[in-house]
Amino acid sequence: MEINDPFQAEDFKKCAAFHGHICPGLSIGYRSSLKAMEWLRENRAEDEEIVAVIETNACGADAVQVLTGCTYGKGNLLFKDYGKQVLTLLSRKTGNGVRVSLKAGALELNEEHRQLMGKIRKGDATDAEKERFQALHLKRSRDIMENTEEALFDVREIHEDLPPRAQIEPSKSCDRCGEPTMASRLSAKDGLRLCGGCLEG
């Protein structure tokens, strides 16, 4: 093991374990999360001190959850489906916010890498091609880990209204299936109060 192997950093290993593999997207999520956290000068959110807004639900989202403590389950990870590698962190304590966005070209794959990816998607890559792809994929992931912040990201302060905290509300039973459902998620139909599943039929 190389002493300065970025894949051996304890926090990166946690991200890789959570995500399931190492990939360029995970590296982007790792680097952007560290940058945004450093900017906010806060520690990992144990509860809801920090709110994260991600603009794609691709691989990097898993590093964001591990490193910022903003998770799907706690409701302080918000997803906007814009298809962009952008992470915004907002602090409830200070009201500060930072937006870290990937620069154009920073995640670009070379021609060989792209072609192999296409073959694998179609399911007609040979074992040798799969191996070559994996090597290129890891190399790209490592390059991102070792690249300068300036080469990867634009970072800017933002001022945004914070979304309301996650609500814990009592459940009521759906009139059709009987399953307990957050009261605000029940809809009235034909004189019944129905959950989303029953509403859709």
What is the binding site for Zn ion (CB under 5 A)?
A: 23, 25, 59, 174, 176-177, 195, 198
Buried b (16+ CB within 10 A) or exposed e, 1-39: eeeeeeeeeeebeebbeebeebbbbbbbbbbbbbbbbeb
Burial class (CB within 10 angstroms; exposed 0-12, middle 13-18, buried 19+) of 69: buried
In the complex, least distance from residue 97 CB atom to Zn ion, rounded to whole angstroms: 27
In the complex, least distance from residue 163 CB atom to Zn ion, rounded to whole angstroms: 27
In the complex, least distance from residue 172 CB atom to Zn ion, rounded to whole angstroms: 11
In the complex, least distance from residue 196 CB atom to Zn ion, rounded to whole angstroms: 8
Is the Cβ–Cβ distance between 36 and 100 less than 8 Å? yes
Q: Which is nearer to Zn ion, 162 or 177 (CB)?
A: 177
Give me 76's structure tokens: 């302080």
Buried b (16+ CB within 10 A) or exposed e, 141-156: bbebbeeeeeebbebe
Half-sphere exposure of 62 (CA within 13 A, CB side): 18
Please give the helix or strand (H or E) that residue 135 lies within, else none: helix 127-146
In the complex, least distance from residue 173 CB atom to Zn ion, rounded to whole angstroms: 8
- Residues for the chain: how many in total? 201
